[in-house]
Amino acid sequence: MASTHLPTSLYKYLALFLFLLLLLPFLVDARAPGRMNAIDQCWRRDPKWAANRQRLAVCSVGFSGKMNQNRGRDLTTYLVIDPSDDPVNPRPGTLRYGATLLPGKVWITFSRDMQIKLVRPLVVKSFTTIDGRGADVHIAYGAGFLLYEVESVIIHGLQFHHIRSKPPGPVMEPEGELTHMAGVDGDAIRLVATSKVWIDHNTLYACEDGLLDVTRGSTGITVSNNWFRDHDKVMLLGHDDDYLEDRRMSVTVAFNRFGPNCQQRMPRIRHGYAHLVNNLYDGWGEYAIGGTMNPSVRSEGNLFIASGSSNKKVTLRMVGEGGGTSWNWQSVNDAFLNGAFFRQAGSPVAAPRYNRRQVFPVARPADVRSLTSNAGALRCSTGGRC
């Protein structure tokens, strides 16, 4: 009778195969952080992120620095259960009540998927976190967010679209003051004289004016992991040519996806310093990066992909109304596809003077597709990794 025993070497190979099969999920999990950027590595691996929401505050990088001041024992957690909006008498349970009227540090979450149509701009107070993780939250078909002379704000995990201009009218401000607000242009998010703000993992598109404006001396801003698409004038950094206070502006724009179907202002910069790092530019119309009034722009490790019908030139140098015909821009280890090219000009731009709580590793352009693959509002389940 023929022997039914397998050769010893075959047993060894079979045992090794079974061992690797059992180990595969752990190997995949261990490699996952390499496909994430520095911010996402900080919190997205945790399957209990919903129970540890405040960890997000220590994950920011760039000029905003860490947002530790938004967490702690003296924090009020607030749940939005009502998508309605009353700008004059905000009701408990609505977003406006939590973002404008609650004192001290406030961490806002949402009970379920919802669409919020703001009657007037939402005036967000200092030390406020608006955290959309775990729900599909749309700020749409009404007004947008206004951050006016505040500090320490996180806006995370929301979708902004079809924001409309609004006429003058009454609105409740922080500290419970009712004011008559001037008309607004239809920006999704506007920062005015504001500092230490982190805008992360939002999806923004199809608004009447800009998707994000950083103006009137605002500084210490990080814009990361957002998806900007289907829009004309995307991002403005600097109020106007004559507003010299914007010379102190410092903004980090990292790990974002621009496009498809974005025309210009990714961003447009006046006066200050912008570090544009590891972003994906998926086509543009008139230009991708433009500016006036001598801004310093360091474009580093970005991937620029010109579309077939787009202007191949990444940059547009404009002459400001108040002079300022020079612009210091520098491309450092960027990558260009489909004929895209970057015109450097002016003096060499120094690397950002990040402190140890702001600094983060800059990846190769070859890794930008994966680093930005989850840009925009994440669809997170409270029972697993986000």
Q: What are phi and psi of 205, to 5 degrees?
A: -165, 160
- Residue 76, judged by CB atoms within 10 A of its CB (0-12, 13-18, 19+), counts as middle
CA–CA dist 351, 353 (Å, integer): 6
Q: CB neighbours of 230 closer than 8 A, spacing ≥ 6?
A: 205, 206, 260, 261, 262
Find tokens 């599909």 and name the residue.
136
Give the chain's length. Answer: 386
CA–CA dist 116, 130 (Å, integer): 13
For the chain, the C-alpha Rg in angstroms (whole number) is 23
What is the sign, positive or negative, of the torsion defined by CA atoms of 385, 138, 121, 79? negative
Q: Please pick, among 265, 268, 270, 298, the residue that the annotation labels catalytic.
A: 265
CB 267 within 8 A of CB 238: no
User: Helical H runs in the chain?
Assistant: 8-31, 38-43, 95-96, 368-371
Q: Is 265 a catalytic site residue?
A: yes
**Where in the sequence numbering do the catalytic residues fall?**
265
